[in-house]
Each structure stands twice: as C-alpha cells, then as structure tokens.
Amino acid sequence: MSLTRPDLDALPAYVPGRSVPGAIKLASNEVPYGPLPGVVEAVTEAVAGVHRYPDMGVTELRGRLAERLGVDTERIATGCGSVALFEHLFRVACLPGDEVVYPWRSFEAYPIIGATTAAKSVRVPNTADHGHDLDAMAEAITERTRIVIVCNPNNPTGTAVRKAELDAFIDRVPANVIVALDEAYREFVTDPSVPDGLVEYGDRPNVVVLRTLSKAWGLAGLRIGYLIGSPEVAAAVRKVVTPFSTSLAAQAAALAALNQEPEMRRRVELVVAERARVVEAVRKVHPDVPETQANFFWLPLGEQSAAFAAQCERAGVIVRAFQGDGVRVTIGTPEENDAFLGAL
C-alpha cells in the first residue's frame, strides 16, 4: 500500500548541480562573484525582524520592479524562485487534461511540474542544432493547450530564439493560450536580435515573462523570481502563490541587489567575456558546441556525458551531465574556467 500517488514513481527527481567540498562548481548556472554589495547588510538587518511574517503583498519590491520595467505594479507577481512561479502558472491555467507545450531538452523542472499538476506535458524535440523547433511547437498546439513555453535562452543548451522567428511564432499562438517566455538568463544575452520578451511582446495579454534574481543578480540561495503578465494573469498567480513564500530576507536582498545594477552589469560582462574565451577553446576539441547566449554552454556528448562529468570531477570540477544527451558547463571565474579547460 502506498500513501502517495502511484504515478510519482515514474517522476524524474530534480537533480541539483552537485556541491563537492573543495571542488569547483560549474553545475548550477550561478554567477561566481558572491552577493552584490549591500545584500549581506540588508539581509542581516532584515533578520532582526524574522519573528514577524513578511509583507505578503511584496509591495515595495513589486513597486521597484514595476518602476524598473516600466509596467504597472499589478502586472507583477513574485515567488520562491521563478520555478515556483511556473508551478503557480500551470495551476492557474490548467484543468485536468489540459496541455502545456514546451521544447525538449529544456529546463528540467517543466516535466516535473507538469506531472504533479493537472497539466499534460507535450514535449517538442529541439532541432538538430539544439534550438527550439518553433514550427513544430506551433503545430503541437491543440484546443486543449493552455500554455506554450519558450525558454530564451534555453537551459541547458544555451541557444536563443531570434526576434523574427519569435514574432512569427507568437502570431500563430491562439489568443486563449498563454505564451510563457522563460527569461531566467536574459541578462547574459548579447545578440541584439534576441528579443526582450517584455519590450517586444509585453503588451499582449496572453504573454507572460518569467525572470529570476537567482542568476545575474546573485540571489540563488534566497529564492526569488518574478513574472510580468496581464493584470488578470498576475492577480491569478498571486492568488495561488504559497502565502509569504517571498521571504523577509528575500525581499530585503532583492531591494538591495536592484540598487546595484551597474555592478551586476560589470559582473555579467566578465561572464560574457569568459564565455567567448572558453567556448572558443572548447570548440577546438568539440566543434559542435552550439552558440550560447547564457552563462553556460552545452557539450552534446550523448552516451559519453556521464563519463565526461565523472572525469571532470576527478580533476576537481563539477559539471552537469544529462546522460545520453549532453553536459552543461557553467561559466565561472577565469581561474575556474582554466581548471575546466585543463580537465578537458
């Protein structure tokens, strides 16, 4: 007898990038330069008040984000990482049997969330060069589809969708289907033809943009993400969000981090410069590394993936293997990247 759902046995567990004491961690797409200035002080000050619940409306932070993004505060919802916001979005959009279309391989949380909400996952294989097959994704939309996800840039392959193709795709999506633009890595995009989802499509009621403070803003450990949608969609998400899940410390840290945009940009530029250097070096050994617009790159090593990651680990570098498919390597500091290149 089981006390939990029998179908959970078939559910893949979310695999976090491993942290091995003493090893270099290039497995979780974090930025390696520590918290932004002022964040530790803001959190330290905030924890004196942790016997009280945080502001459930996340008013100040939502206001600050709204101001930065040039949208009304009512269009913003925050959550315990953007991963939680995906779960809330699935929940507010999907009844049993409704479908969510997403590219595959992509962010590993999508199928896990799909399997435990009412949504049925419809996976559309990536193209041979590891990008989204937007035509096939548009064709996969049925009258049961409630959400279609575009992960731009895509985790774990780093590939990005350009404006012209995204324009055409979004025009093909029916107005009653949500287009969820996952822009967790937006800050690392350097190609101007990769559209900012909010700037280009934010005025469409069925477009929802999801972003995070975990990556470029350096707050992965505090768990905070946000979405910008129509007032109706954002309000629905706020209705189902786990109460108080944007914690007191997360709100304080996010406000402090958002004051440090120039420093965030400086760090992103270091990552982007290293990305070019490392990918060029890796391509001398593996010419098929796809172009990346994120803070990681993809080695399509197929069946060799787990062995490659194990070899890196023996050399003191932790990367993320997706056995049978490829290995994702996060860009770290120049010294960390040199250690990876040495292992390679």
Ligand X SMILES: Cc1ncc(COP(=O)(O)O)c(C=O)c1O
The residue ranges that bind ligand X (CB under 6 A) are 29, 81-83, 107, 151, 155, 182, 184, 212, 214, 220, 225
The least distance separating ligand X from the CB of residue 202, rounded to whole angstroms, comes to: 18
The least distance separating ligand X from the CB of residue 214, rounded to whole angstroms, comes to: 3
DSSP 158: -
The least distance separating ligand X from the CB of residue 261, rounded to whole angstroms, comes to: 18
Query: Which CB sits closer to ligand X, 113 or 344?
Result: 113
Query: How deeply is 272 buried, as exposed, middle or buried, from its count of CB atoms within 10 A (0-12, 13-18, 19+)?
Result: middle
Distance CA(109)–CA(106), nearest Å, equals: 9
Query: How deeply is 144 buried, as exposed, middle or buried, from its count of CB atoms within 10 A (0-12, 13-18, 19+)?
Result: middle
Query: Which CB sits closer to ligand X, 237 or 344?
Result: 237
Contacts of 223 (CB under 8 A, 6+ apart): 80, 81, 84, 214, 247, 250
Distance CA(146)–CA(41), nearest Å, equals: 43
Query: Which CB sits closer to ligand X, 214 or 251?
Result: 214
Query: Which CB sits closer to ligand X, 179 or 344?
Result: 179
Contact in structure between 108 and 102 (CB atoms under 8 Å): no
Sign, CA dihedral 90-93-99-105, equals negative
The least distance separating ligand X from the CB of residue 125, rounded to whole angstroms, comes to: 18
The least distance separating ligand X from the CB of residue 184, rounded to whole angstroms, comes to: 4
The least distance separating ligand X from the CB of residue 19, rounded to whole angstroms, comes to: 15
Nearest residue (beta carbon) to ligand X? 81
Distance CA(88)–CA(267), nearest Å, equals: 31
Query: Which CB sits closer to ligand X, 151 or 252?
Result: 151
Query: Which CB sits closer to ligand X, 102 or 344?
Result: 102
